[in-house]
Structure 1
């Protein structure tokens, strides 16, 4: 087996300097060494780093670089690719990779950590071990995120396009409806065993993967909140995405909200609402179409990343076509 490690930074690549965590260019190799010391090394590997950055500083340029890099090596002689990444923007990069690779490529696993490698509380080695076993045992194609949450005794493996935004003050990684792809758990001899989630369902890819072209200035991403102030719509904005409340609702009654939606419609700007399921709806949602609001059954980050990619093609029908297991 041969694996490519792609290092991008994040907590998993940091050193604690006093009370400040800083990216350390030597830390990624320390991660591999720590893994070898614990589990041995029964595979060959190569390493590459397109950039090293704390993930909160990532931009669309970083997404372009990362996706172009992984796409280049995904068709070479590797059984899988492991991308080390920070947890703050893990979901964005995971989703971007999924939409540019699709779900029929070699397994690509993003590995992160809740604490630096030197911290006894770090889950870095657990997450890395799960990624390696996932690739070794050919447990899935496409992009995945194995991550052990602090409260769990098992490691969840998430489909990249199903990830939810992280909650404040929490380092937990969660999937939509808490339905991850599968789990690794300890067997009778402390070996990790994998079980596929029987409730997890996804469609086959209905459209080809996108070329990595993330035009951030064309998408305005808003989050529904009480007393919302609606921004000015600049000329370069093509789409507005509003992350809904948990019940798939947004304000459709206030004067400010209705004026914003009307202005967007007048300027030919489509407004999408993420996190909206089919089925029964609240009365407020019955006005979506009247107000130029289009519901999407995608997670907020998946909808945002897909819109970034679509904004260069102007084909919003692709939002409703499955790619990378998003639907």
Structure 2
């Protein structure tokens, strides 16, 4: 018999339609287990326990909620379980998956996050199947680590490493991954690895990993003094005025080719804005760039030459959460940079 712990946090998978709106509902979470017990996915070799440290829509999650959830998981007697399933809202799932991949990188059990595109009572919902496939993944594969199980629009139950899932997109509700490569999939209750030179083999996950930083619930710091900016044509940087209160760092997203506006001057100049930030002692990061040693556009090179720190081979979701951890741990920019680019906590670097 395999004992699994279900950690409910709310989200659409724990919601019910109430009038014209959708909101979290206490009974909605536990209906998930009841539905599983009465479905064709039911397994007699699995026992489910449940706790609910949070009950909220995931768009409302703040770092303090991550701390609450992390403390709840850290307080679990893992020796009593074969795995943990965290039910979560889809809006911020990719960020939470990355954060908990870092915090529990040394877990000896599978920790699986899953979600739903619609409330369970909606005929379009994939939530019950996602939950069932999370159970199957733990019961079949049992690989230690942090994962996400979620069905794509082709009806395929995909398995992602927690640091290699990117935010769901509007209109299709589909999650992505760097290079469009999931870790694997569930086929007839069994896990099949997606073989790739960029992906760890299952046997690698069975090897004991050491945590590269230590934390306790009462000392864990997740620093939010970071400003994230996404570029678009006409982005006017003069609206970012840090004269009264300044962040510790700016994390600037890039277009798919690793570029952003690098004209010399004017309100749309990232170079000018970055210069102002650096002069104020604000650290400046750009991401994602696949490989800075590869041939880059001149605009990318100009940003790097002007003082931008590149975060390589990492999704934005993995980068921003790792940066929040880094500034919570370290005081010096050199330490933060070494943590970001010199360490791999849990497969966040998509390298060959």
Q: TM-score, normalised by structure 1?
A: 0.92
Query: Counterpart of 2:5?
Result: 4
Using the TM superposition, give the Cα deviation of residue 104 of structure 1 relative to its aligned residue in structure 2, in angstroms.
Answer: 4.3
Aligned-partner Cα distance in 2 for 1:268–1:103: 35
Query: Counterpart of 1:323?
Result: 345
Structure 2 residue 214 is the aligned partner of structure 1 residue 215: no
Aligned-partner Cα distance in 2 for 1:210–1:254: 43
Superposed CA deviations along residues 36-92 of structure 1, whole A, max 9, x for unmatched, are 101334222221111100111111111111122222226442111100100001111
The within-5 A match list for 1:1-327 is 1-38=2-39, 39-42=41-44, 43-73=46-76, 75-102=78-105, 104-150=107-153, 152-185=154-187, 191-199=188-196, 200-202=198-200, 208-209=212-213, 211=215, 212-216=220-224, 218-230=225-237, 231-233=240-242, 235-255=245-265, 256=267, 257-278=270-291, 279-297=294-312, 298-314=314-330, 315-316=335-336, 317-320=338-341, 321-327=343-349
Contact kept in structure 2, 1:114 and 1:171, CA below 8 Å: yes
* Bigger relative contact order (CA 8 A; separation at least 6): 1
Give the unaligned 5+ runs of structure 1.
Answer: 186-190
- How many residues are aligned here? 320
Of 172-181 and 99-108, deviating more is 99-108
Contact kept in structure 2, 1:103 and 1:143, CA below 8 Å: no
RMSD of equivalent CA atoms: 1.9
Specify the SS of the correspondent of 1:312. Answer: helix
Give the unaligned 5+ runs of structure 2.
Answer: none
Q: TM-score, normalised by structure 2?
A: 0.86
Shift in CA distance, 169/210, structure 1 to aligned 2, threshold 3 Å: farther
Aligned-partner Cα distance in 1 for 2:134–2:283: 39
